[in-house]
A and B are shown apart, each in its own frame.
Chain A
């Protein structure tokens, strides 16, 4: 009898562990990250397209940014030629955040949703991390500026 109980409890715990994702999310309906493209700069665009195709940007934007960083920091090269042949400035603050000025509703949405921990915002960004309510003006390079 005790043996049956022990094994019963073991099985229940085991199944319980595997059921955690189902139990925790029970009743949850919608939760996809609601990424916003509603910024003045994007709204002003005639053709709403990013520097590269959306699928590529969704999957590989971090690779692009890594290449930009290395190119700028190591080679001093600021020019990025996109697949369509257009030239962009390699700048997270100017180019990326120039359009996507709503960092909290664009970048952070997906990163928080997928629990991606990034260190871009330690230097860059439109939100002063130490003083989150003070929004830094678009285009202002917060890099190298003192965060008092």
Chain B
């Protein structure tokens, strides 16, 4: 059910978009209202989630340390794995965000003879890299639909992506790789027993949704084709707030667009928020300088204390009269 459920939801979304545009001709809804609403909800959701994170407590330094911390000058520090300065943290974050270093190691627990061992799951690392980088390139490529004239950077990116010159329209390498990456990430959840056991429907839904987006996009390029110039007119109309009627465009475009809108609405409230979330991970974005700098809990309030000296001063006479011993130091300081 945790697999079939999300799959049915994604297929239903495809069906809804297809029927509503192909048969009911609700072009204004699917080409105008839903994209605007979805984009607005996406931005609002992002802000709400980030503000919530910002307000949550991080009273301690809790960076995960993966190497020798800063110590004596003759002990070599692992500057990226145990950063003690802001520059180190920056380097660590850059590598984490761009190359997923933490996926590179210690993700697999296995039994070797009678011992437990931690090893790396390199395949997960490679699959994640394939998917995320393809997705980034694809998103950047889509900028050609909302920018006119198209900056040279995006043109070069697109030419590089299609440089194999296979077929016409040219095959994009990133199109192949994103499906391979997503397919691997999905297959992994089926193939590895332990991962399958802990996978939930919220793990499968984003995978199916992203696969749906990728496949509908690929179909739009190689199968049911769309008038790209017409699509760009509609997209430019949306970003300039001078909407152009989208009713001459193919149905497959609305399927693709509706799935993307679903992703935008779903994104801020799902595990996909790890994208901005990685920047807010206290285990990654803090320097391990607890031994060099004193960190005081920022919301420590002045606690009203009653010291023993004050106590003895207050009750000293009574204590003396019943024969209780008094602290001579306190007595002497108080004269």
**Could you list which residues of chain A lie within 8 angstroms of chain B, going by C-beta atoms?**
3-4, 7, 10-11, 14-15, 18, 21-22, 24-26, 28-29, 31-33, 55, 58-60, 62-63, 65-66, 110, 112-117, 119
Judge whether A114 and B232 touch: CB under 8 Å: yes
Judge whether A7 and B54 touch: CB under 8 Å: yes
Please name the residue on chain A nearest to B250 by beta carbon. A59
Main SS of chain B's interface residues? helix
Judge whether A114 and B229 touch: CB under 8 Å: yes
Judge whether A21 and B143 touch: CB under 8 Å: yes
Q: Determine the distance from Cα of A86 to Cα of B45 in the docked complex, in whole angstroms.
A: 57
Judge whether B47 and A3 touch: CB under 8 Å: no
Judge whether B232 and A117 touch: CB under 8 Å: no
Interface contact tally, CB-CB below 8 A = 83
Query: B155 CB to closest chain A CB, in angstroms?
Result: 5
Query: A70 CB to closest chain B CB, in angstroms?
Result: 10
A-B contact pairs, 8 of them (CB 8 A): A3-B54, A11-B47, A14-B276, A18-B43, A21-B146, A21-B239, A32-B244, A117-B159
Interface residues of B in 156-172 (CB under 8 A from A): 158-159, 162, 165, 167-169
**Could you list which residues of chain B lie within 8 angstroms of chain A, going by C-beta atoms?**
42-43, 46-47, 50-51, 54, 143-150, 154-155, 158-159, 162, 165, 167-169, 225-230, 232-233, 236, 239-240, 242, 244, 248, 250, 276, 279
Query: A147 CB to closest chain B CB, in angstroms?
Result: 21
Given A29-B240, A63-B168, A65-B168, decide whether A115 and B229 contact each other with a Cβ distance below 8 A.
no
Query: A28 CB to closest chain B CB, in angstroms?
Result: 5
Judge whether B148 and A31 touch: CB under 8 Å: yes
Given A66-B167, A117-B155, A117-B159, decide whether A25 and B146 contact each other with a Cβ distance below 8 A.
yes
Q: Tell which of B50, B147, B229, B233 has the most Cβ of chain A within 10 Å.
A: B229
Q: Tell which of A11, A21, A58, A60 has the most Cβ of chain B within 10 Å.
A: A21
